[in-house]
């Protein structure tokens, strides 16, 4: 059950949220381990190293090796969480994630930070527009795009209780609050944030807040928009999409990712497979 935030002000930095949540989980569960690719200061994971030095490993700038070590830790009964920037958490290590993780039946939880245009100033090498597309290709994987700190904390806690390959993407810096603290969610289920009967806007991640702003601006022009936060891109909420598309004149997806293989593709697949003839953009 979720409640919308009473403020749209930025909350705590998402990297701080991830660190605080992992420290809390590691305090309670001595089987949780954290691995970072030499980004302790950028990610804040030095805090984890200080709190739990025996269960934190700085793998250096060797992301593929980090995934291999995480798979090995999973084989011995540990639950690993790994972090690096989005392109290095997915594209650079895809073979290791697919074979050592998915094919091997191991559990690896991945936080890919600063996806899409979040860190454009870092250059093209540190930018990923295809991470969701790649992670959707791993059988039985779960792929999430966190809209704010409340949702991010819930996702991290939920991942810690599951087996398999799980990926969550999100900024390092703070983003506007969407949900009140204490809100809970359900993997594979989207959240209707605003009712509407003309356009269906389906968004994920940091663009959820901007989509709500757009819906407000369009309402002032007499255009009624429904807004859905589709924070789980795999498995996507087919039932919700097919129900809410009824009567709409257009469906628009908004994401910090290439439309190819991302949220746009996932929604288009649902509409195409069911023959729902609604314009999609």
Q: What is the DSSP string of 80-111?
A: EEEEEEHHHHTTTTHHHIIIIIIITT--EEEE
Residue pair 66/43 in contact (Cβ under 8 Å)? The answer is: no
With beta carbons less than 8 A apart as the criterion, state whether 144 and 231 touch.
yes
pLDDT at position 19, please?
96
Measured CA to CA, the distance from residue 9 to residue 37 in angstroms comes to 31
pLDDT digits (tens, 9 = 90+) for 107-134: 999 999 998 887 777 778 888 899 999 9
Task: Please check whether residue 250 is in contact with residue 280, taking contact to mean a CB–CB distance below 8 angstroms.
Answer: yes
At which residue do the structure tokens 């002000």 appear? 9
**CA angle (150 as vertex; 146, 151 as ends), nearest 5:** 30
What are residue 264's phi and psi, to 5 degrees?
A: -60, -45
3-state secondary structure of 255: coil
How far is the C-alpha of 250 from the C-alpha of 201, rounded, in Å? 9
The pLDDT, as a whole number, for residue 11 is 82
Active-site annotation, residues: 63
The span from the CA of 265 to the CA of 137, in Å, is: 13
Of 172, 200, 194, nearest to 281 (Cα)?
200
pLDDT reported for residue 132: 98
Task: Give the closest residue to 230 by CA, choosing from 265, 255, 210, 213.
Answer: 255
Distances (CA, A) of 26 to 70, 153, 198: 16, 14, 46
Q: What is the pLDDT of residue 277?
A: 67
CB-CB contact of 68 with 111 (8 Å): no
Q: Count CB neighbours of 58 within 10 A.
A: 15
Sheet holding 199-203, edge to edge: 191-194, 225-229, 199-203, 250-254
Supply the pTM of this predicted model.
Answer: 0.95
Task: Report all structural domains of the chain as residue ranges with CATH numbers, in order of start.
Answer: 14-170 (3.40.50.970), 191-274 (3.40.50.920)
Which single residue is written with the structure tokens 């991640």?
Answer: 205
CA dihedral 237, 238, 241, 246 (to 10 degrees): -150
Ordered per-residue pLDDT tens for the chain, 281 residues = 899 999 888 888 999 999 999 999 999 999 999 999 999 888 889 999 999 999 999 999 999 999 999 999 999 999 999 999 999 999 999 999 999 999 999 999 999 999 888 777 777 888 889 999 999 999 999 999 999 999 999 999 999 999 999 999 998 888 899 999 999 999 999 999 999 999 999 999 999 999 999 999 999 999 999 999 999 999 999 999 999 999 999 999 999 999 999 999 999 999 999 888 676 66
List alpha helices for 104-255, DSSP H. Answer: 131-136, 149-159, 207-220, 238-244
At 234, phi and psi to the nearest 5?
Answer: -145, 120
Distance CA 172, CA 158 (A): 20
């Amino acid at each position: 059950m979720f409640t919308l935030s009473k403020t749209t002000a930025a909350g705590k930095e998402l990297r701080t949220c991830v660190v605080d949540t992992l420290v809390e989980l590691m305090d309670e569960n001595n089987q949780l381990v954290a691995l970072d690719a030499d980004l302790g200061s950028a990610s804040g994971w030095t805090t984890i190293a200080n709190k739990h030095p025996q269960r934190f490993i700085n793998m250096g700038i060797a992301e593929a090796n980090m995934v291999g070590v995480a798979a090995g830790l999973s084989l011995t009964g540990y639950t690993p969480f790994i972090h690096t920037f989005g392109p290095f958490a997915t594209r650079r290590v895809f073979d290791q994630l697919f074979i050592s993780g998915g094919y091997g039946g191991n559990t690896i939880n991945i936080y890919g930070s600063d996806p899409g245009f979040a860190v454009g100033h870092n250059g093209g090498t540190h930018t990923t527009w295809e991470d969701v597309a790649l992670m959707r290709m791993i059988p039985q994987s779960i792929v999430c795009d966190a809209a704010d700190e409340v949702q991010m904390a819930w996702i991290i806690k939920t991942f810690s209780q599951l087996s398999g390959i799980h990926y969550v993407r999100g900024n390092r810096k703070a983003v506007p609050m969407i949900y009140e603290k204490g809100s809970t969610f359900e993997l594979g289920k989207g959240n209707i944030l605003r009712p509407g009967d003309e356009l269906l806007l389906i968004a994920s991640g940091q663009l959820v807040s901007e989509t709500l702003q757009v819906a407000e601006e369009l309402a002032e022009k007499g255009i009624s928009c429904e807004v859905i936060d589709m924070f789980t891109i795999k498995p996507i909420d087919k039932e919700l999409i097919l129900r809410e598309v009824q009567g709409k004149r257009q469906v628009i997806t908004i994401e910090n990712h290439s439309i190819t293989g991302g949220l746009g593709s996932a929604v288009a697949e649902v509409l195409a497979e069911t023959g729902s003839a609604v314009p999609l953009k």
